Chains A and B, each alone.
Chain A
Amino acid sequence: MLQVLASGVALGSIYALVALGFSMTWVTTQTLNFAQGELVMVGAFVGLVLHVDRGWPLLAAALASIVIVALLAVVIQQVAVAPFAKGVTSIGWILSTVAVSIMLRNLGELAWGREARRFPSPVGESLVETVGIRLQPQQLLIMAALVVIVGLLSVFLGRSLWGKALEAVAQNRDAAALAGIPPAVIAALAYAISGGLAAAAGILLAPVTFVSAHMGLSLVIKSFAVAVVAGLASFRGIVLAGIAFGMAEALVARYLGPEYRDIFGLVLIVAVLAVRPTGIFGIRKVVKV
């Protein structure tokens, strides 16, 4: 059982990373990128091509991938989100980012083929044995990376000028604008960060699940489930919710049966939204009437 839980933690960490990306853009721009899963895929593939096919050192490949995907996220924001995000209730960006996601999936297939490909783990394949369970070293790396990334993000948001600007816009967009913070730049920055998070998730995940053009879809749904449950109260909330979800999913697969695994996440979304819709992102839209 411990074994089952342990394997769930690593996957849950990935869900948390992607969910953090959702939170980043939602909190600052009231929009989400439905193509977030595909960004994970692109990040993984770019890393694969640079590291495995071109022989770049892993760290360089990872950084390059993060930068490239961050830029891609900004392009998506400029082209598909911003034109449709005027007004509190406009939903055109949902459709446009959904459109982008299927296009990216197709492009991924065209560019990198239909087969799954292997991504070598930087920490090797031999299992690590501890307290009676065995883990792939990559899984440990993922958990460690999550902690590091969340730490870096917290520092950035809390201490740096741009980070604080992001926080300000998240709290009150109009007031921040009045204070001289350009909301358009902040929006781009938020998307860039979420893109970077996606790329990091992709590169961390790749050695565990292999890289394929279709890896994005189920990831997006489950990460959204995590975000739904967490309510975005704090980064810690998402991290905890992500890990809990990963473990719960593994338990469901083991004890109820693997056919229930994906259904679990989907039903969770529907159930949580039915019971506590305000528990979702927790930000109430305030509108002058």
Chain B
Amino acid sequence: MSAMARGGVVARRLQEPLGLVAVLAVGSSVVWWYGLSAYNSRIVAVMGLSIVVAAGLNLLTGVAGQLSLGHAGFYAVGAYTTAMLVVDHDWPLLATVPVAAVLCAALGLLLAAPALRVQGPYLAMVTIAFGLIVHDIAVEFPDVTNGPAGLFPIALPRIAGRELTLEELNYLIVAVVALTMYTTSSLIRSRWGRTLRAVHGNELAAGSLGIPVVRVKRLAFVISAVYAGVAGSLFAAVNGFVNPDPFTLELSILFLVMVIIGGAGSVWGPVFGAVALTLLDRRLSSLADYRLLVYGGLLLLALYVVPDGIVGTVRGRLRRFGRAPSTAVAAVEPWDPDLGPDAARPTPAGDGPLLEARHLSKSFAGLRAVDDVSFAVERGRIHAIVGPNGAGKTTLLNLISGVERPTTGDVLLAGAPLAGRPTHEIAREGVARTFQNLALFADLTALDNVLIGLHLRAGASVPQALARTPAVYREEQALRDEALALLAFVGLAGDAGTRAGDLPQGHQRLLEIARAVASRPRLLLLDEPAAGLNHTEIDALGALVSRLRDAGMTVLFIEHHMDLVMRLSDRVTVLDYGRVLAEGTPAEVQSDAAVVEAYLGTAASPTPRPERGAAEHQTKEIIDAHG
């Protein structure tokens, strides 16, 4: 490895510890410099707390893509928890912080239930409603919260029996900020960060790779709530006073603007955003008449001109100046599917078929897309599903992979029923797939796509990811190496650092296959893998699939390229109008009269296929609720 590359590796490894030291150093200097003036040091304190909230919100909104317009509510809960415990019950302040954290976690969990069953505008409304509910309760129930008059005085925290000064409190806040950046950076750069990004990028694909989408979103919600709660708790200490006034919708919007302007989804974005906006807020104090106008305008401007925020835009510019040095490509060994079945999922004994469909039917509001389909796929075979457009092929695949629930019938994987189980569980059982219209994470690199495909083979837990233990680091390295090998396997090693959406279509299809086989599935479902490929590419694809089969994988694929089907498959099932028309070896099926008629019309009248209306559309209902 070259010195540059080695340096790069070291930098990557030490990013979190280095970052921690950097934040501590810079933060402490700032606190010391401004410590001379109580006015300035208060601004610094608020800035630090804003960083913490923004960093947490960034995880939820920037990385996981779940919009929250109510985080001022968690901030408020943190502040009020501390205020009530300190003022009414004489608790020492520092002891209230973990309580605030736990309370916010519970509240986040509670809110996640309705919030995650909906998307987009509903989620926005739910979170807005949450923020307003918290504010209303603070105002309307003075018996509990002392209403608009607020709770005070909140004594400063004590350490070792001595009350901290305001400046020392600021050093404490710097430490909290450093810890926040360490943990968020670790999380974002870990497997779990990728998981969040996957959920943001394409929930369907994420589920098909074994990611429990709802659970992950819930996690993001809870984590972001905890950060906001801790910050709110310290806010009570900084202010010495808590009342409902600051915790408005505008504050939630402000936090969001910090995330966006800093660079949603980036590690250091929240820092830039929080610093910029806190300073701006101070500037605007004399222009208070225009505050909302400026924030709204800023948000709009950011959305128009710099949707990637400060960090994203800078990074984009840097990227144009020179590609990030790709790791030595030539030295990568292509992935070897022969490395034996995954020890965690041994090939089950017995010799029944791997996959069995029994009288599967699926109706969409009166349209029978799949009608009483039964077939079996033997272990280690390549089985093709063919049929004219609209025959129900993709729906069939959806039924097997759990994207759709059958109206009637069963799907059995090595004897165990699959029907009705969520996609990520089915993926866990060893079923992987690609999609007809491609479901790549277009904004992520090819390498990241494959890394996400390796989700099921990685073991780092969330706490480990937050702490970035050496074990986590080692696993990351191993995963990276395997991902590169997978890319080499499909011939894309040179494109590791390219944005998936920028790849040509043929390469995208290969990438999706690499991603799918990363988890070493027992059953691989391919939906029109050859679409858009030229002859050479189709040949390469065929060789790839054969190689997989030879290594023990079972493949079920939908295709229109008949020569590929004939060459590759061991068995073929023909569908038409949702029903099985014929089944057998390629040769048998090719000469079946019914098949010929369905495809080409009768000898007497080779007519184009009649209009089928709604049946032409293979559609999948995305319901706004995810199970």
Q: Which residues of A does B touch, CB under 8 Å? A: 31-32, 34, 80, 83-84, 88-89, 91-92, 94-96, 98-103, 105-107, 109-110, 217, 221, 224, 228, 259-260, 262-263, 266-267, 269-271, 273-274, 277-278, 280, 284-289
- Interface status of B513 (Cβ within 8 A of chain A): no
A273 and B121 CA atoms in complex are apart in Å by: 12
B292 touches A102 (CB 8 A): yes
Taking CB atoms, residues of chain B closer than 8 Å to A109 are 289
Besides the contacts A106-B296, A280-B118, what 17 more A-B pairs have beta carbons closer than 8 Å? A34-B124, A91-B120, A91-B124, A92-B307, A99-B295, A99-B300, A100-B296, A100-B300, A109-B289, A110-B289, A269-B129, A270-B114, A270-B126, A284-B623, A288-B620, A289-B204, A289-B620
The minimal Cβ–Cβ distance linking A278 to chain B, given in whole angstroms, is 5
The answer, among A102, A228, A260, A285, for a CB contact under 8 Å with B295, is: A102
A94 and B256 CA atoms in complex are apart in Å by: 12
B303 touches A273 (CB 8 A): no
The minimal Cβ–Cβ distance linking B6 to chain A, given in whole angstroms, is 41
- Interface status of B137 (Cβ within 8 A of chain A): yes
Interface string of B581-600 (1 = CB under 8 A from A): 00000000000000000000
The 4 lowest CB-CB distance pairs between A and B, nearest first, are A274-B114, A259-B140, A103-B296, A106-B292
Taking CB atoms, residues of chain A closer than 8 Å to B239 are none
B618 touches A266 (CB 8 A): no
- Interface status of B228 (Cβ within 8 A of chain A): no
Q: Which residues of B does A touch, CB under 8 Å? A: 67, 69, 111, 113-115, 117-122, 124-126, 128-130, 132-133, 136-137, 140-141, 204, 249-250, 253, 256, 260, 289-293, 295-297, 299-300, 303-304, 307, 394, 398, 403, 435-437, 439, 617-625
A82 and B621 CA atoms in complex are apart in Å by: 24
- Please name 27 pairs of A and B residues whose Cβ atoms are closer than 8 Å in the assembled complex, sorted by A: A83-B304, A84-B303, A91-B67, A94-B67, A94-B121, A96-B299, A98-B124, A98-B253, A99-B295, A103-B293, A103-B296, A107-B293, A109-B289, A228-B122, A262-B132, A263-B133, A263-B140, A266-B133, A266-B136, A269-B126, A270-B133, A280-B118, A280-B624, A284-B624, A285-B624, A288-B619, A289-B398
Taking CB atoms, residues of chain B closer than 8 Å to A92 are 303, 307
Taking CB atoms, residues of chain A closer than 8 Å to B623 are 278, 284
Q: Name B66's closest neighbour in chain A (CB-CB).
A: A91
A263 and B139 CA atoms in complex are apart in Å by: 11
B293 touches A269 (CB 8 A): no
A289 and B202 CA atoms in complex are apart in Å by: 12
A260 and B253 CA atoms in complex are apart in Å by: 25
A277 touches B299 (CB 8 A): no
A94 and B618 CA atoms in complex are apart in Å by: 30
The answer, among A100, A262, A277, for a CB contact under 8 Å with B117, is: A277
The answer, among A32, A100, A284, A287, for a CB contact under 8 Å with B121, is: A32
A56 and B260 CA atoms in complex are apart in Å by: 45
The minimal Cβ–Cβ distance linking A80 to chain B, given in whole angstroms, is 7
A36 and B299 CA atoms in complex are apart in Å by: 18
Taking CB atoms, residues of chain A closer than 8 Å to B128 are 221
Q: Name A276's closest neighbour in chain B (CB-CB).
A: B625
A267 touches B622 (CB 8 A): no
Q: Name A282's closest neighbour in chain B (CB-CB).
A: B624
The minimal Cβ–Cβ distance linking B351 to chain A, given in whole angstroms, is 33
Known: A96-B299, A288-B619. A270 touches B130 (CB 8 A): yes
Taking CB atoms, residues of chain B closer than 8 Å to A101 are 296
The minimal Cβ–Cβ distance linking B194 to chain A, given in whole angstroms, is 19
* Best-buried of B121, B130, B253, B617 by chain A (most CB within 10 Å): B121
The answer, among B117, B120, B133, B296, for a CB contact under 8 Å with A274, is: B117
A278 touches B625 (CB 8 A): yes
A96 touches B121 (CB 8 A): no
